[in-house]
Structure formats: structure tokens, C-alpha cells
Structure 1
């Protein structure tokens, strides 16, 4: 540890922390991911408790597959919200889980190809000029969901009723989260989402719109509502759902690579080379497979937890593993699940306004960081078509069963335009160095 301490690192990747530090730092990682991880299942109608369990199991599988070399926590992916909602609407929740399972298989296939052929081929298919606008589409296409939750009673039904109480609570939640994000320091600066939800929940209690009955009735230990194929439902395969899920999985792979590059710089190791990006992608895919088998949303590495690593300089995978085990335990605490389920939609709407906007802004940031030149006509054409097709909700109906939704269609069209239009710049291997 002496050499590690000289470098200013509290715990290096393989270090086993002291028990007190281990518990505290693991809980901090749990809080950092908690708000966003339970928000996704809340929005798509899945069990938040199952999402916590799947995030914990997925993270443990990730650590195992990456040989305990990468300190990354996997939480619920926002990119799959629209695909899951579309899949549930067209074919039911069981079909949506099968679609998520196929998305995990796509990760495994890409990991195998990267292991055999390297990485440049993927980045030539998914350059920033394609991925940036698609990420913007992911965020902006969810904007009506956030606004409806903030404004209406029963936002997901045909009987939407405008509520001044709801919009007030949503705005309070939003403002507190923004203030926390900008002004809070240290540990509190890492959990502005959780703080915003807490303040919004307290305001909801004062406004009398929280139902405490399910919390009182819930047991402390309670098995969550798992969705297990052939046990709780009969899985149905739908080419239409696959057509929705697979293009989004391809795009989120680019996000995964970006997180690995940032994480490599934070920790001071080249994770793309050792243990290798193929292992990292395979680990992420395994997390998605695990989640889909038990009824959880697809997983992804979390920027919030990378922020925790940056602040604490505690990179130990044992701390990440501790957070994963704690998340699994929380998933079986019925009172916690009941409290999460009792959070009014207005609170989640206020948080979603910010989070979905951040997703869209991160796509814009990708374009800026990579210095995409919109004086070049090909870049302007690609981005313009992706944005209008995706945000406009265009879809391509290939048959009675198969159709490409706006997000999937915009991603595919963007990839094709990038490959067809002249002037494409090939990616250099230098860009992957950390």
C-alpha cells in the first residue's frame, strides 16, 4: 500500500479495504446509483426491487468476467426506456424481456468480434456524428413522458387530469436537484438525485398525495415480483420487438466504450487493453441477460459511480462488490420497495425533466468534444435526418409483426448514411488510448 499511497490513491483496484471504510464507501456507491436505477423500472412498469437485485447480480457478474480488474457499477439504462415501453404496448411485458435478452446477446456477439478483429470496425460504424444525435433522440423522445408525469394525475392513462399540486411538487423536486448538482460538495454532491427525490417526497406527504397503506402492509422481508420465463410467464418471440431493441443496443455499446475510456483515465490504467474491452462488453451483456431473466431492465455502467471513484480515489473492486451485495439485500426488504412504489409520479416527473435533458445534452456534448464540423455537408445531413426521424416518431412497418420505431429507424438510417455518403473519415487507433 505504500506505493499506492504515494500516488494519492486511497485503495487501488485489487486492494481489500478496512471493514469500516469498506461499508461506508460501498453504501456511498449504492446511494450514487440508487435514484437513477429505481427511476427506470418506475417509468416502464417493472419492479424497482427486482431492478436493484438485477443491478447487484449484474455488477457481480461483470466483476467476475472482467477478472476483478475494472471497478464499475452497473445500473438501469435510460436508453432502453422507450424500447421497453413500445415492446410492452405491442406485445406485452414478457416479449419486452425477451427483447432485452436478445440485446444482451448482441453485447456478447460484439465482444466476441472485438476479441477476434479488434475495435476500429465498430467505431467506424458508430462514429460520434451518428451516436451523438441518436443519444439526443433518446433523451428528447422521452421528454413528453417526463412532462406528463410532472403535470397530470394518472399520467399513463387516458384520464389525465391537470394538477397544480403535481406541477408544483415537480418543479420543487427539479429545482432542489439542480441546486444540489451545482452547489453541493463532497458526498452530498454525488447524490443530488436522491436528495431531490427525498425533498419532493416530503412535499408530497405535506400535500397529502402519498398513500402509506402499502408501506404499512409490506413485510420487512419480502420476495419481489420476479418475471421468470416459463415460471411466471410464457415467453413470446417478436421480430418487431427485436427490431426495436437491437439498434439501441448497438448505440449503447458506444456509450459503454466512452465510459471505459473515462474510467481508464480516472484510475490510471488502460482497461481497453487489460483486461480488454471485449471482457468489459461481455460483462455488461451478462448483466443485461441476468436482468432479463428475472424481470429487470437492461444495465449499463454508471457515470455517477465513476464520479464517486474520482472523488474518493478508492478504486477497489471489493467496494463495488460490497455495493452490489447491499443492493441485492435492499431488493428483498419489502418496506424499501413499498416506499419506492409510493413515490408520486410528480416527483419522478421533476427528476425526469432533468435526467432526460441531460441525456440529450450528453449527445450534444459528444458532438462538441469530438469537434464535429457541421460546415461539412455530410455531417449536417446525417445529424439532421437522425434528429427528425427519431424525435418525429417516424416508423417503418415491414410486416404485421415487424416495424422499426423512431429511435431504431433513426439509428439504422444514420449508420447507413455514414457508410454511404462520401468523405467518411476512418477512425485511428490512437483515439482509444487512455
Structure 2
């Protein structure tokens, strides 16, 4: 196991001979291989993050090139703030898709950008608290049953959006879904992990053959230039849409830090707060100029696990490549030609996967649904989000995700508080081993 060395975002020790990985070890965040090999790993990170990063702006109507630019800049900011100790790419967060859609309907893209800025600021403050007080309070506020419910309800709340896009090109959408599923089981290694990107490319090819793609915008776009920027506008009514997403981003970031720590053998807990603050600042920056909110990317963990290279130098390469690609308007125009049918097909798979990721959190943490409190937390919050319950209070407007998140938190802590007061805490079902009825029946 490697041990933490001197923290620096710009200094890496050469691993071994710079060409091969020492048997039984990994290339730690503070190490690197030779620059050509590091550049190759960085290119793999670009491919790994690309599919998800460009899908979010396409699904929300944001300029893809602008999102790509801010994802690259945000990644650089993340690497600097975490002192080069936490290897991660900050790509577009799917958790923001539903809030952005609702905010755009109310106040246009500017209003959605304002929501991103506010969410980023709250995430930064949460990171500051974690940096000073540690991450233990997160587990107390958001135990696995709550975290899983919030992740699941965000994905399932998006189901109507997937259907709307799918119906605009059902055949193309079906090809996209089939290609994603087949790529998952046909290919191994990096290509298998990029099944979403492979499926989108297959769906796009089908759309071209069916005459569903308009290439006129590509001819009109310049070869070199800055992507379009837009300033945010701030409205109190979008607070309830965006702030609940912060809870998901906190869980994602903490999970990313712990995963990398486990794979590298380093203690990265002191950097968890920095990671949250960096992601918060990156989201504020993106929202201030027209990009999508960011999060640490699990897609890139797969590249690191396969290559055994956790060097942050590779992420600098990926970030620089992303920024350079964003400066070619024709490239951004090409991405923007992806038709609704392809987006609908990708959405069917992606949104469903997000929902099931919440279930995976329950399974991995062995959440006991023999406990009626846990059952109520999951059941009520999911129905509220899937049905998209709405509540308006003055200028504030709360929709399914916000209300579902609030329901999960209030039901869990409220029911437990009352049960402790009354002495009616449900007894664990002990995973069906010697099952005993709970005090609540």
C-alpha cells in the first residue's frame, strides 16, 4: 500500500521505470507514468466521461460545448483544491436534469442557471462543514435508507421526460436501447463500460439513415471560437428544486473519495471536505456562465480500476483536452444534432439505472425493510416523486424531487424520534433469522 506524501497538485513522482506498473501495486495519485503513457490514460478518461457529460446538456437544452468547457475547468479547480490527492473528473450531474427542466419551464435557462449557482453554494458550505467537523454527521442525517430513497426518486421522477423524447422517434429510441443493452454484454473492458456512448452512436446512425438528423447547424458553425455563454437569473421559487440535489452530490462525492481511498490504500478522509467544496465551486462557476452542474464521475473509476493508474496527472490531461474540444464550435454543433429519439432511448436506460442505483444502496447496506419505518421512508418518498406532487408556498414552488426528499428525511427522523419517545422502536428482523415481530406490529 502506498502512503500519503507531500501534497501538491503539480508534482508527481515517476512510478517505477515510468513504463510499467510495479507488480502488486498501483500508480498512486501523487505518481505518474511517462507523459506519453499518462496522455493515453488521460484520453481514456475523456472517452469515459464524454457520453454522460454531453448527454446532460442535450437533455436539458444547454449548449454542449459550454458544458464541456466548464467541466474541464471545474476538473482543474477540483485537482488544485484537493492538492492533487483525489483523482476525479467533474462531469455533468444527472441529478440536476429534473430541477433544470422544471426551472426552465418557470424562468427560462437563466433561472435554471441561478438554481445551479445556489446549489453549488450550498454544496460548498456543506464541504466547509465536513472539512471542519468531519463526515460523520452525514451518516447521521442521511443513513442508507434515506440516501437510497433520494437517489432512486431522482431517477424515477425523470421517467415522463424519457417517454416524451422516446415518442418523438420510437424506432430510433428502440435501436438506442437495444444497442446499449447489447454493448453491455458483448464487449469487455473500456468498451463494455461505455455502453451508453456506444448505444447513442448506434442510435445516431439509425437516425441519420431515417433522415431524422439536421446537419445545417454544423455548416454554419465556425471552426474555432468560444462556446456561447449566458448569465444566471435568481428566483426564490427554484430553491426547492435545486437544494435537495445537494444531498445526492454530497453522497456521490463522499462515496467517490472512499472508493478511491480503498483502491489506493491511502487515507483520503481529510480531503472529503475539500472535494465537496471544489465540486460546489465548480457548479457555481458553471452556473454563472451557462454550463451544467457538476459531480465526481463514477465512469472514470472504471478506467482507473482497469488500468491501475490513479495518477491525477492523467486527469489534468483529460481536463485540458475537454477545454480544447469546447473551443471548436463545429464539434459542439455536431453534438447538438443528436435527435430526441436517441435521447429518449438513452434516457430510458439512464434514468432507470439511476433509480436502481438507489436500490443498490439499500442492498449494499443491508437496509432492513422488515422495519416499518424504513418501509415508510422508501414507499412514501418514491410515490411523491414519481407522481411529481407539487406544493406552492408564496414564491416558493416544491415539486416531486424536493417533496420526496423532504418526505424521506422527515419520515425517518420524525418516526424514529416518536418511536424512541414512546418506546416503540421497531426491532430488527435480523435478516429473517429468528424473526421477531416489531413493537409496532
Question: After TM superposition, is the score higher than 0.5?
Answer: yes
- Is 1:250 equivalent to 2:247 in the alignment? yes
Distance in 1, Cα, partners of 2:224 & 2:296: 28
Q: 1:412 aligns with which of 401, 406, 428?
A: 406
- Is 1:182 equivalent to 2:185 in the alignment? yes
1:260 is matched with which residue? 257
2:225 is matched with which residue? 222
1:85 is matched with which residue? 101
Whose Rg is larger? 2
1:10 positional shift: 5.6
Distance in 1, Cα, partners of 2:248 & 2:37: 37
1:252 positional shift: 2.4
- Is 1:289 equivalent to 2:284 in the alignment? yes
2:148 is matched with which residue? 132
1:298 positional shift: 0.7
1:2 is matched with which residue? 16
Distance in 1, Cα, partners of 2:193 & 2:318: 15
Distance in 1, Cα, partners of 2:291 & 2:137: 31
1:169 positional shift: 1.4
Q: 2:391 aligns with which of 392, 396, 414?
A: 396
1:65 positional shift: 0.3
**What's the secondary structure of 1:28's corresponding residue?**
helix
For residues 350-369 of structure 1, what are the alpha-carbon distances to aligned partners after superposition, in whole Å with 9 as ceiling and x for unaligned?
A: 11111111100100010111
Distance in 1, Cα, partners of 2:263 & 2:340: 36
Aligned length: 403
For residues 32-65 of structure 1, what are the alpha-carbon distances to aligned partners after superposition, in whole Å with 9 as ceiling and x for unaligned?
A: 1111111111111110001100110010000000
Distance in 2, Cα, partners of 1:10 & 1:249: 32
For residues 62-118 of structure 1, what are the alpha-carbon distances to aligned partners after superposition, in whole Å with 9 as ceiling and x for unaligned?
A: 000000011111100001111111111112221211111111111111112122222
Distance in 2, Cα, partners of 1:175 & 1:265: 35
Aligned runs of 1:221-240 on 2, under 5 Å? 221-229=224-232, 235=233, 237-240=234-237
Distance in 2, Cα, partners of 1:342 & 1:23: 29
1:224 positional shift: 1.2
Distance in 2, Cα, partners of 1:39 & 1:140: 17
TM-score (norm: length of structure 2): 0.88
1:185 positional shift: 1.3
Which residues of structure 1 form unaligned runs of 5+? 153-165, 230-234, 426-434
2:208 is matched with which residue? 205
Distance in 2, Cα, partners of 1:210 & 1:90: 29
Distance in 2, Cα, partners of 1:333 & 1:34: 15
Is the CA contact 2:81–2:278 (under 8 Å) kept in the aligned structure 1?
yes
Is the CA contact 1:134–1:390 (under 8 Å) kept in the aligned structure 2?
no
1:258 positional shift: 1.8
Distance in 1, Cα, partners of 2:400 & 2:190: 39
**What's the secondary structure of 2:412's corresponding residue?**
helix
In structure 2, relative to structure 1, the CA distance for the partners of 1:20 and 1:5 (3 Å cut) is closer
Q: 1:67 aligns with which of 69, 73, 83?
A: 83
Which residues of structure 2 form unaligned runs of 5+? 1-14, 426-441
Distance in 1, Cα, partners of 2:162 & 2:354: 13
1:44 is matched with which residue? 60
1:161 is matched with which residue? none
**What's the secondary structure of 2:88's corresponding residue?**
coil
Q: 1:346 aligns with which of 332, 341, 355?
A: 341
For residues 246-270 of structure 1, what are the alpha-carbon distances to aligned partners after superposition, in whole Å with 9 as ceiling and x for unaligned?
A: 1221232122212222222222222
Bigger drift between 305-314 and 389-398 goes to 389-398
Pick 1 or 2: higher relative contact order, CA cutoff 8 A, min separation 6: 1
1:29 positional shift: 0.5
Distance in 2, Cα, partners of 1:11 & 1:51: 30
1:398 positional shift: 1.1
2:42 is matched with which residue? 26
Is the CA contact 1:17–1:319 (under 8 Å) kept in the aligned structure 2?
no
1:155 is matched with which residue? none
2:130 is matched with which residue? 114
For residues 379-419 of structure 1, what are the alpha-carbon distances to aligned partners after superposition, in whole Å with 9 as ceiling and x for unaligned?
A: 111111111111111122111x1121111111112111222
Bigger drift between 134-143 and 59-68 goes to 134-143
Distance in 1, Cα, partners of 2:213 & 2:104: 27
